[in-house]
Amino acid sequence: MKAFAHLLERLAFTPARNAKLRLLRHYLDATPDPDRGFALAALTGDLKLRTVTPSLLRGLMVERVDAQLFALSYDFVGDLAETIALLWDTDRDEDVPLRQAVKLLSETGKSGLPAAIAEMLDWLGPSERLAFLKLATGNMRVGLSARMARMALAEMGAPAVADIEEIWHGLTPPYQPLFDWIAGGARPEHAAKAPFRPVMLSTPVDLDQLRAFAPADYVAEWKWDGIRVQAINDDGTRRLYSRTGEDISHSFPDMIDALNFDGVADGELLVRRADQVAPFGDLQKRLGRKTVSRAMLDSHPAGLRVYDLMFWQGRDLRNLPLTERRAVLEGADFGSDRIDLSPLLDFATWDDLAALRADPPSPVIEGVMIKRRDSAYVSGRPRGPWFKWKRDPHVVDAVLLYAQRGHGKRSGFYSDFTFGLWDGDTLVPVGKAYFGFTDEELRELDRFVRNNTTERFGPVRSVAAKLVLEVAFEGLNASSRHKSGVAMRFPRISRIRWDKPAAEADRLETLKAMIP
């Protein structure tokens, strides 16, 4: 528990991804089974334990701390688990194995839980108490995705990330067979039906690069602005995975019901109303939900636009050329009107394709995909067989409003920039960008921020509204959570407009008009 608590604490304060990976890998290297497997599952949200409610925890404190002192403390600390971890009065500081805490939280009956938790807290030091309480409340919040966990595992031994992704969903905590495999043992067999298969990814391309290739060797299709999914029906077991292998079935019961086939399909998940594909923002409302309301299912129905087949009716198609897979795809009956095919585009030259790309039939199209006719379906991102040719990004000229100091390699530099657009005669913040500029430009921006600071709030400075930044972004969603009413996707600073007066920056209504 001490090593786990230390890991949690470091992860919580470490912003950089690579540093997080190193912390996790060192922990996994140094920790015995099954504790490391339980820790991994806890961090990625795959550990299903009895959920301890805040009211149970408050109940523990009532008999131990004066109510007024508790209230003052909670008010100061701002987090219930942390307040309790700090207030708990014990002189002991034992190193209880994580598996013992997991056992307690999975096997103790409801009536015995308060006493069992109190007893465990009595054994532990403050950091471990916090780790235990976070485990109990199921709220780790250390910014570690399942994908990153698998990357750390891949660094430990021979199996690559794609190999691990392929078997991941057949495994359950504490993942003993997986750790044995990494240590040089046998590869775990697919224990579960409908495992995730690593997907084939594309590389970006532009017109100049395309001219080196023969158009006749390629097919092209629209690039829809949804999310890439793998839809599986494996002998009745249905799953929907994101492209990094997260199981998102629970968020899309309507889609799961529609998988009336036998195979593994690769396609774009969209919200579709009749023939109309809805903007990404509509799909986003469906993502990340544990349960979906009836009303949401009716107002935001999911659809799948299939572009490839990896397996069909028991046959592995991945080694066939694309044209043969496509032939199977075009002859396939998916058994649901929620599922349709991504049509191929008609073009003879790259200029034909450029003309199509410049004038897509739907605002939810974000470019074209270009795939070699003879390409086998290989996992990862091989350079060449598949290209994405995205539409040009949107740009607005915005005014720099706030800057925040960066971390790690950008320590000491103001490197996170909040920018705004004119709404009447005031500037409304519309987004935040922290890349797109060169190292030299970062030094210039840093200097500008320091010389034009008007106020400081901890690591944030507000600056005089006089520098215009050209901000490029991929898409735009209406958003009730942002004051401006819009949320940009993938914003970055494409140019610093030292020459442009702030008064000539764009207006909020210009941006709002770009919402699809």
Partner 1 sequence: MRAEQILHPTEAGLYCPPGDFHIDPIRPVPRALITHGHGDHARAGHGSVLATAQTLDIMAIRYGSDFADQRQVADGEIRVGDVTVSFHPAGHILGSAQIAVTPDNGPKIVVSGDYCRRPNPVCAPFEPVPCDIFVTEATFGLPVFHHPDPAHEMVRLLSSMAEFPERPHLIGAYALGKAQRVIALAREAGIDGPIAIHGALQRLCDYHIAQGIDLGELIPATAEDVPAQLVIAPPSAFASPWVQRFRDPVIGFASGWMQVRARARQRGVELPLVISDHVDWPQVIQTIAELAPAEVWITHGTEDGLMRWCELNAIPARPLRLVGYEDEPE
Residues 144, 11 contacting (CB under 8 angstroms): yes
Binding of partner 1 at residue 96 (CB under 8 A)?
no
The C-alpha atoms of residue 162 and residue 182 are separated, in whole angstroms, by 13
Binding of partner 1 at residue 126 (CB under 8 A)?
yes
The region of 77-85, 162-170, 187-195, 369-377 touching partner 1 under the rule CB under 8 A is: 77-85
Binding of partner 1 at residue 13 (CB under 8 A)?
yes
Q: What is residue 215's DSSP assignment?
A: G
Site string for partner 1, 410-429 (x = CB under 8 A): -xxx----------------
The region of 60-68, 111-119, 254-262, 494-502 touching partner 1 under the rule CB under 8 A is: 60-68
Burial bucket for residue 136 (CB in 10 Å: 0-12, 13-18, 19+): buried
Binding of partner 1 at residue 10 (CB under 8 A)?
yes
The region of 68-76, 114-122, 145-153, 311-319 touching partner 1 under the rule CB under 8 A is: 68-76
* Comparison of 126 and 253: residue with beta carbon closer to partner 1: 126
Site string for partner 1, 315-354 (x = CB under 8 A): ----------------------------------------
* Comparison of 22 and 500: residue with beta carbon closer to partner 1: 22
Binding footprint of partner 1, residue count (CB under 8 A): 36
Helix (H, G, I), strand (E, B) or coil at 58: helix
Which tokens in the block code for residue 441? 């430009």
CB of 246 to partner 1, least distance (A): 27
Binding of partner 1 at residue 459 (CB under 8 A)?
yes
Q: Which long-range contacts (CB under 8 A, 24 or more apart) does 355-362 make?
A: 356/220, 357/389, 357/391, 360/222, 360/391, 362/222, 362/277
Q: Which residues contact 403 (CB under 8 A, 6 or more apart)?
A: 414, 415, 416, 417, 418, 445, 449, 460, 461, 463
Q: What is residue 300's DSSP assignment?
A: S
Alpha-helical regions (H) of 300-339: 322-331
Q: How many helices (H) and strands (E) does the chain have?
A: 20, 20
E strands in 205-345? 218-224, 227-234, 237-242, 263-273, 276-277, 302-312, 315-316, 339-341
CB of 411 to partner 1, least distance (A): 5
Contact with partner 1 (CB under 8 A): which of 76, 189, 438, 498?
76
* Comparison of 184 and 458: residue with beta carbon closer to partner 1: 458
Binding of partner 1 at residue 58 (CB under 8 A)?
no
Positions annotated as catalytic residues are 223
Identity of the amino acid at 368: V
The residues binding partner 1 (CB under 8 A) are: 6, 10, 12-15, 19, 22-23, 26, 65-66, 68-69, 72-73, 76-79, 82-83, 86-87, 126, 405, 407-409, 411-413, 446, 450, 458-459
